Structure 1
Amino acid sequence: MLLSYQKMTGPLPDQGLLWLITKTLDEVLPWILISLFSFALSLGVLRWKEGSFTGRSVLLLGLSGVVYTFADAILKVTLQVITEGDYVLVVSQVSEDWGLPVFSVILYYLLRTVVQSFSDGDDLGSGNRFWGV
């Protein structure tokens, strides 16, 4: 891996192998996400056409978005620690780095609530509503 990197870009950077691995993961992560979303959406379209589409598929897409935002934030902070040597815990810096992952968790919770309310609404329409009779 190091030899191919040196052939493509020249000498190895001063930060070392950990920087190279982290930088590679940071650059590859969006492509992994795009391929996973494309695959999940194609499966969703197939399930929708056959009539077996459920909210679990939507929740899986939402959860993968949450995982992506956390992985991206972790990689960016790791790259900053490797290149600069420290990570300053200032409110503006922490909110800039970790604001989107926290917001994505909140959005996932709202998505889960909406999917659960739709699935609960479907369950009420198909059964007997008068339990005590």
Structure 2
Amino acid sequence: QGALAWIVLAFLAFALSLLVLRWKRGTFSGRTLQIIAFGIVIWTLASATLRVSLKVLQGQEYGFEPSQIWADWDLAFWAILGFWIVRTIVRSAAERDETGRYWGI
């Protein structure tokens, strides 16, 4: 799990450097933010999967109760929701730039 954190941090650092470079060049379109948000989603999903797998492999019982599922998967849920919000904002801004109309989120 520690190696996963370093891999994801390296990916996010690379994506952040792309964001800064595109911003300085004036070609920033928001796709880099989508890549960063998607990286966060992948990290939270992988982390939650590893936690659940370790619990099962250690012999602990894993019940499919809402409280148990929420305790293990809440960050993944919020990351997916955050990715959807970022994606909606980027698409909305791109449509506004292309058509001159802004329909909001």
Judge same fold: TM > 0.5, yes or no.
yes
**Aligned pairs (5 A) from 1:60-99:** 60-99=35-74
SS of residue paired to 1:89: coil
Q: So what's the TM-score if we normalise by structure 1?
A: 0.70
Structure 2 CA distance for aligned equivalents of residues 110 and 40 of structure 1: 18
Q: Map Cα deviations across residues 52-97 of structure 1 (whole Å, 9 max, x no partner).
A: 1211111111111111110000000000001124312222111100
Paired amino acid for 1:62: A
Structure with the greater alpha carbon radius of gyration: 1
**Aligned pairs (5 A) from 1:96-111:** 96-111=71-86
SS of residue paired to 1:53: coil
**Which residue does the alignment assign to 2:7?**
32
SS of residue paired to 1:84: coil
Structure 2 CA distance for aligned equivalents of residues 108 and 95 of structure 1: 19
Structure 1 unmatched ranges of 5 or more = 1-25
Residue 46 in structure 1 maps to residue 21 in structure 2 = yes
**Shift in Å, 1:47:** 1.4
Q: So what's the TM-score if we normalise by structure 2?
A: 0.87
**Which residue does the alignment assign to 1:115?**
90
Percent identical residues: 38
Moved over 3 A (4+): none
Structure 1 CA distance for aligned equivalents of residues 42 and 85 of structure 2: 16
